[in-house]
Structure 1
Amino acid sequence: MSRYSLSEFVEKTEQEDRGQGLFELETDRLLEVNLQQQIWAKAGSMIAYEGQIKFVREGILEHGIGKMFKRAFSGESTALMKATGRGKLYLADQGKKISIIRFHNDTLCVSANDLLAFEPSLKWDVKLMRKVAGIVSGGLFNIRLEGEGMAAITTHYEPLTLKVTPDKPVLTDPHATVAWSGHLQPEFVADVSFKTFVGRGSGDSVQMKFSGEGFVVVQPYEEGGYVQQN
């Protein structure tokens, strides 16, 4: 086989079954879902599929009145689609790196923009960071996942997990914060003196402060979509 031939390209990039279960990484930036029944996925994340799969955008009343009102405020960043059927489904989100997490009665809060897919066996809810609404335009949204099942989250480049301990709180840039352990309650700290030195604009004088026992996941990228721009 000649180097750089078409057949070599096809062989190197051809889909490969790894037998890893419902979720498996076809590449670091492409999630393969071996669908048997149903999953939830970020709206617009489907790039290809084979088999008998039906896609339905999440109904505004599908999860009750409470989530309906949260949807009205959170907008497209938390929009989900339901994939139902049998076949292979391929998901991606702007070439971001994908990490698969298996929950065993765990709880995790994920930035609404960084949740790619999850099993319906996981309980979930949309959370609004109300205290930041007066500081950062539009407010800040995350999705709380808990229970048993699998989920896939995305990051720009490699994620970094920082341990939070009672004697060592962690402060992060909201635009670079991806996820945190579910029992942590971040508070928002405004420090105008940081404005000149950190990040890109006036909003960067706000940090998320995590105190207690747990962890927080950040990415080496400030994601503007993390904060709603309505």
Structure 2
Amino acid sequence: MAIKNLADFLEDSKQKDLSPDVFELESSHMLEVKLNGRVWAKAGSMVAYRGGVKFVREGMLAQGLGNLLKKAISGEGTQMMKMEGQGRVYVADAGKKITLLRLAGESIFVNGNDILAYEDGIKSDIKMMRKVAGMVSGGLFNMKLTGSGVVAITSHYEPMTLVVTPDQPVFTDPNATVAWSGNLSPDMVTDISLGTLFGRGSGESVQMKFSGNGWVVVQPYEEIYFQQQG
């Protein structure tokens, strides 16, 4: 790797404004939020800011009593913080790749661990997977995002989208599943014969089954937030 002099390094790595949008990628791993009002971001994701910005961790009852238990169980993976005021905020999540999606009234589901930020025009709701008897973890809890605005999701490395059709259901490793279309309701299924094939031979036999018409996004990496109770 070539050695840079200090002036070149400062110029090449300097924050740049290339877009008037609220969300702008400074790199594939760093998101700039041009704050003028309110934006939601993953708790603990702020790495720097300037201006008059107030940060408030989302209260357990912020979205109603119905989510109290779900928030308590799902843990940090779905905790968001409210950023209010005027300024610039820079957020990131463990160096993961950031993808910006503009919703125009659509709904998507995102794994709680893979949500980085979303604009105030997006409504969020924590959802619990069906058929979860005997299994607990944040990986079973996902966030449904609906409305108009931009959503920032994260993945380890480049994500891949698989099309789901009625005659071709898709099975995924829960620890590698990032997001899916809002019309799908995946089931948790087990197949002991696949126990040494899913999860890098770890014996994990739990999969997510997507049926119907839609899509699912996976990443080439297994995050450690899903566990099976044995």
TM-score (norm 2): 0.93
Counterparts of 1:197 and 1:19, CA distance in 2? 44
Residue 54 of structure 1 corresponds to which residue in structure 2?
A: 54
User: Could you list the runs of 5+ residues in structure 1 that have no partner in the other structure?
Assistant: none
Counterparts of 1:186 and 1:193, CA distance in 2? 20
Counterparts of 2:133 and 2:111, CA distance in 1? 15
What percentage of aligned pairs have identical amino acids? 55
Answer yes or no: is the 8 Å Cα contact 1:111–1:226 preserved in 2.
no
* Correspondence 1:220 to 2:220: yes
Residue 122 of structure 1 corresponds to which residue in structure 2?
A: 122
Alpha-carbon distance, 1:132 to partner: 2.5
Answer yes or no: is the 8 Å Cα contact 1:127–1:141 preserved in 2.
yes
Counterparts of 1:196 and 1:68, CA distance in 2? 36
CA displacement, residues 106-143 of structure 1 (integer Å, 9 cap, x when unaligned) = 00000000000011211110011141242x34361100
Letter aligned with residue 88 of structure 2: K
Alpha-carbon distance, 1:77 to partner: 1.3
3-state SS of the aligned residue for 1:72? Answer: helix
- The size of the alignment, in residue pairs, is 226
Q: After alignment, is 124-133 or 105-114 more displaced?
A: 124-133
Counterparts of 2:54 and 2:133, CA distance in 1? 37
3-state SS of the aligned residue for 2:121? Answer: coil
3-state SS of the aligned residue for 2:107? Answer: strand
Alpha-carbon distance, 1:3 to partner: 5.7
Residue 66 of structure 1 corresponds to which residue in structure 2?
A: 66
* Correspondence 1:138 to 2:118: no
Answer yes or no: is the 8 Å Cα contact 1:175–1:227 preserved in 2.
no
3-state SS of the aligned residue for 2:199? Answer: coil
C-alpha distance 55-164 of structure 1, shift in aligned 2 (>3 A): same
Question: 4+ residue runs of structure 1 moved beyond 2 angstroms?
Answer: 136-139, 225-229
CA displacement, residues 33-80 of structure 1 (integer Å, 9 cap, x when unaligned) = 011000110000000001110101111222211122321221211111
Counterparts of 2:226 and 2:101, CA distance in 1? 21
Answer yes or no: is the 8 Å Cα contact 1:57–1:80 preserved in 2.
yes
Alpha-carbon distance, 1:25 to partner: 0.5
Residue 32 of structure 2 corresponds to which residue in structure 1?
A: 32
Counterparts of 1:198 and 1:43, CA distance in 2? 31
* Correspondence 1:106 to 2:106: yes
User: Could you list the runs of 5+ residues in structure 2 that have no partner in the other structure?
Assistant: none
Alpha-carbon distance, 1:226 to partner: 5.0
Alpha-carbon distance, 1:225 to partner: 2.5
CA displacement, residues 131-157 of structure 1 (integer Å, 9 cap, x when unaligned) = 1242x3436110000111111000000
Letter aligned with residue 57 of structure 1: R
Counterparts of 2:119 and 2:84, CA distance in 1? 11
C-alpha distance 39-226 of structure 1, shift in aligned 2 (>3 A): farther
Answer yes or no: is the 8 Å Cα contact 2:163–2:216 preserved in 1.
yes
C-alpha distance 70-49 of structure 1, shift in aligned 2 (>3 A): same
Alpha-carbon distance, 1:227 to partner: 5.5
Q: CA RMSD in A?
A: 1.8
Alpha-carbon distance, 1:228 to partner: 9.6
Counterparts of 2:184 and 2:75, CA distance in 1? 25
* Correspondence 1:183 to 2:179: no
3-state SS of the aligned residue for 2:61? Answer: coil
Residue 149 of structure 2 corresponds to which residue in structure 1?
A: 149
Counterparts of 1:216 and 1:111, CA distance in 2? 11
User: 1:161-172 alignment to 2 at 5 Å?
Assistant: 161-172=161-172
